[in-house]
Amino acid sequence: MRVDVRVTSHPAIRTDPTDSTYDRAAESESEMVARLSEELEAEIHRYRQWRWRARFGRLFRFAIMLVLIWLFFNRNWSNIWWMTMVFGGSKMTDERASRRRQAASALSRISDKRAVNVLALAYQSGDESTRKVAGEGLIRLLPLMTASDARLVDDRGMAALISTLRWNHINAPLVVAVLKALQQIGDARAIPAVEKLCVAPRPVGYLVGGLDAWLKVGMGAELRKITEAAEECLPYLRTRAEQERLRNTLLRPAERPDNEKDLLLRPASTGAPGNDDLLVRPSENPGEA
């Protein structure tokens, strides 16, 4: 009995060295990551502009409405207190939120570390839905980062990652993932934030301890994971900061003297004081050679 075994071609399996299928697939994925990153970053920029315009417009309309109602009710504030409940806490609809969520979701599904930078920006500046999707993508991609991937995160992306390291708005899985990644790509900029995570503030400790004792939610374990990850990350950051300091010291140019011209033309001095004009005095006998 003869069994015919056939190996089907797959873009991820390259059996022929001359086959360019894998290269084309990798190139198309690279282009897709670049396109989605650019689209998401543009949407984040639009969202920031929209958010400021919405806040200013809401405040302006509310102020005009208060003035008109104040005048209508004979300048009596006690009759219009309810307006603050109706109009003051309303949240305007962001019509482009779905596009940000879709771009962030697509980048999160791609196992490409180049998406970390824009996902960090989306988590920092996006709306709540976009932040949720971007956070999930960061939790999945950050553990893949290595030291050579530091170039993939620019200054804005690093600032966005560091901004997640706060006790007042903590996302434990994301914070642990960021701390693990900072061991590879972090520098001195992250040291202050990481130092604050090494020890939980007393109010946070009391709150977590009370919730664990009452509801058995396991928040104490999450808190310990954060502090342990911070303590583990800090030596890496300090070592890298010291290396950078030494590198800058070695590359620093030597300081020039204030009066460099006088220093270069100053004549050599002898042991005994003398008149420097004697060194250039012409011979008294012109005939002497």
Write down the pLDDT at residue 174.
Answer: 95
Residues 35 and 139 in one domain: yes
d(CA 43, CA 14): 37
On whether the CB atoms of residues 144 and 177 are closer than 8 A, the answer is no
Residues 140 and 172 in one domain: no
Residues 32 and 122 in one domain: yes
Nearest to 195 by CA among 143, 146, 241: 241
Residues 167 and 246 in one domain: yes
Within-domain flag for 288: no
How many domains does the chain divide into?
A: 2
**3-state class (DSSP) for residue 96:** coil
Residues 68 and 156 in one domain: no
d(CA 6, CA 253): 66
d(CA 81, CA 278): 98
From residue 137, give the alpha-carbon distance in Å to each of 109, 117, 235: 7, 11, 27
Residues 37 and 121 in one domain: yes
DSSP 8-state code for residue 13: B
Residues 208 and 236 in one domain: yes
Write down the pLDDT at residue 208.
Answer: 59
Residue 167's contacts (CB-CB under 8 Å, 6 or more residues apart) are 196, 197, 200, 201, 204
Within-domain flag for 274: no
Residues 29 and 122 in one domain: yes
Per residue of the chain (289 residues), give pLDDT as tens.
444 434 344 343 333 444 444 344 555 778 888 888 888 888 887 777 777 777 677 777 767 766 666 566 555 554 554 454 444 444 444 556 788 888 888 888 888 899 999 999 999 876 788 899 999 999 999 999 999 999 999 999 999 999 999 887 778 899 999 999 999 999 999 999 999 999 877 666 556 566 555 555 556 678 888 999 999 999 999 999 999 999 888 776 655 656 555 555 555 555 555 555 555 556 555 555 4
Residues 138 and 168 in one domain: no
Residues 61 and 117 in one domain: yes
Got the DSSP string for 138-169?
A: HHHHGGG--GGGGGGS-HHHHHHHHHT--STT
In terms of DSSP H, where are the helices of the chain? 21-72, 82-83, 97-109, 116-125, 128-141, 155-163, 172-185, 191-197, 202-215, 219-251, 260-265
By residue range, what is the domain housing residue 49?
A: 25-83+95-144
